[in-house]
Amino acid sequence: SYEEAVSENRKLHNEIQELKGNIRVYCRIRPFLPGQKDKQTTIDYIGENGEIIVVNPSKPGKDSRRSFKFNKVYGPHATQAEVYGDIQQLVRSVLDGYNVCIFAYGQTGAGKTYTMSGPDNGSEEEWGVNYRALNDLFRISQSRSTYKYEVWVQMVEIYNEQVLLAEISAFIALTYIIGEKICMDWVKRETCLAVPDANMRQVNETSDVLGLMEIGFRNRARSTTSMNERSSRSHSVVTIHVRGTDLKNGGSINAGLHLVDLAGSERVDRSEVVGDRLKEAQNINKSLAALGDVIFSLSQKSVHVPFRNSKLTQVLQSSLGGQAKTLMFVQLNPEATSYSESLGTLKFADRVSGVELGPAQNNKASSNVKELMEQVASLKHTITKKD
Ligand code: ADP
Ligand code: MG
């Protein structure tokens, strides 16, 4: 009966609330690139249980092996489809009102953009998380008969502690003023990025989504060199906003999926850079450190969470923390010469990985019981795997 369904729904909802949604950390090792001659690697071992061991290639042996454990480790052969398959439930939970943040962290060249966007001019097989998620949310939101959904896309670049809306980022050319009014309204409900004049574009049909991707690829290809240069020094944030109305009881859901391709985490030798380049490097260090601090203090349930220490954490403030689910892809370059950067990356990931963020739904609304059950199963699965 309807009452039973409601009670079951409530039970499952509570179950989700109680599951401690640790921040999920998935480590991904990119393959050696074609034509690369020296294939000496710093990766010593990849375990099925999420363990990874790196070794210092200049002093190989027991003493230089360092072991880390995450929710998952992908070796160089993992496909884009496999990776997306593992995060699909998390992405889809946005349709039930959860805010979700997905980050890619790592040194330049370690595969952040490959994971998030895929290669330039890539085939559908090679699409990254951004496109798969957008397509998926769009498709599912259209197939649900009990909800009416609106989907909006927003893209910004954070460079030198400034939020850029109309710069050379591949996607920026796609933003339209059209969504502005609605976005402003959403800011108050804290589901929009905290960027007052950010533009959004509404997608109405699958062809819009495909159009977005095409223009994005075309723009990127046009200025590949300068883009790569620049993109390694800025954070790119793609946000998919979903607004859903329950057609039965009028309840509504507002939630966002934030897809963040972070600036390269490599340490820049201070003796070698001056002027603008030094300022950039300092801003990157500052914002990545601030992100680590925010996630860490959320894990410690600190009263004061230092969101205001960087633009990145300010912009994401309403989407991190108790109300949100967070996943970080930690990207590694397998080359022996990357040992010390890889170790730095792993240490950062280790610090943020012990985090307990209790996921909570943004708005009160009845959700589809079957989907909730799937979600519970998937969360349990993730947690079991972590243990
Ligand atoms: P980043 O964004 O971290 O600087 P990229 O995503 O641009 O790094 O990756 C660097 C290079 O490695 C690119 O040529 C990319 O296509 C390639 N690459 C990265 N990850 C993979 C992967 N999993 N499979 C195949 N090629 C990859
Ligand atoms: Mg990149």
Cα of 106 vs centre of ligand 2, distance in Å, is 9
Residue 303: CB within 6 Å of ligand 1? no
Q: Do the beta carbons of residue 118 and residue 131 sit within 8 Å?
A: yes
User: CA–CA separation, 151 vs 135, rounded Å?
Assistant: 11
- Complex ipTM, two decimals? 1.00
CA of 259 to the centre of ligand 2 (A): 13
- Residue 119 Cβ contacting ligand 1 at under 6 Å: yes
State the pLDDT at residue 349: 95
pLDDT of residue 74: 97
Q: Tell me the best of 114, 125, 228 to mutate to test the pocket of ligand 1, counting ligand atoms within 8 Å of each CB and taking the most.
A: 114
Gap from CA of 24 to ligand 1 centroid (Å): 22
For each of the chain's 387 residues, which pLDDT tens digit applies? 667 766 666 655 544 443 334 589 999 999 999 887 778 999 999 998 899 999 998 887 778 899 999 999 999 999 999 999 999 999 999 999 999 999 999 999 999 999 998 887 778 899 899 889 988 888 888 888 898 888 777 767 788 888 765 332 323 323 322 233 333 333 333 334 444 444 455 666 666 666 665 554 454 444 444 555 666 888 888 888 888 889 999 999 888 899 999 999 998 776 677 888 888 888 999 999 999 999 888 877 788 889 999 999 988 887 887 668 899 999 999 999 999 999 999 999 999 886 555 454 554 444 455 566 666 777 777 666 555
Task: Determine whether the annotation assigns residue 106 to a binding site.
Answer: yes
Longest dimension (CA), the chain: 71
pLDDT for the residue 64: 86
Q: Is 107 annotated as a binding residue?
A: yes
Is 34 in a helix, a strand, or coil? coil
pLDDT value for 124: 85
Single out the residue of 58, 147, 55, 38 nearest to residue 94, CA to CA. 147
Asked if 154 and 199 count as a contact pair (C-beta separation under 8 A), the reply is yes
Residue type (1 letter), 36: Q
109 belongs to an annotated ligand binding site? yes
Per the CB < 8 A criterion, the answer to whether 228 and 170 are in contact is no
Q: For position 32, what pLDDT does the model report?
A: 95
pLDDT of residue 166: 35
**What pLDDT sits at residue 267?**
85
Q: Annotated binding residue at 40?
A: no
Atom 20, ligand 1: residue with shortest CA distance? 111
pLDDT of residue 148: 86
Ligand that lies nearest to the alpha carbon of residue 234, given by its number in the listed order: 2
pLDDT attached to residue 17: 44
CA distance 230 to 150: 33
Question: Is the pTM above the cut of 0.90?
Answer: no
- pLDDT value, residue 346: 96
* Residue 178 DSSP code: G
Tokens of 173: 């050319």
- In the reported structure, the alpha carbon of residue 281 is separated from the centroid of ligand 2 by a whole-number distance in angstroms of 16
How many CB atoms sit inside 10 A of residue 300's CB? 11
Q: Give pLDDT, residue 205.
A: 64
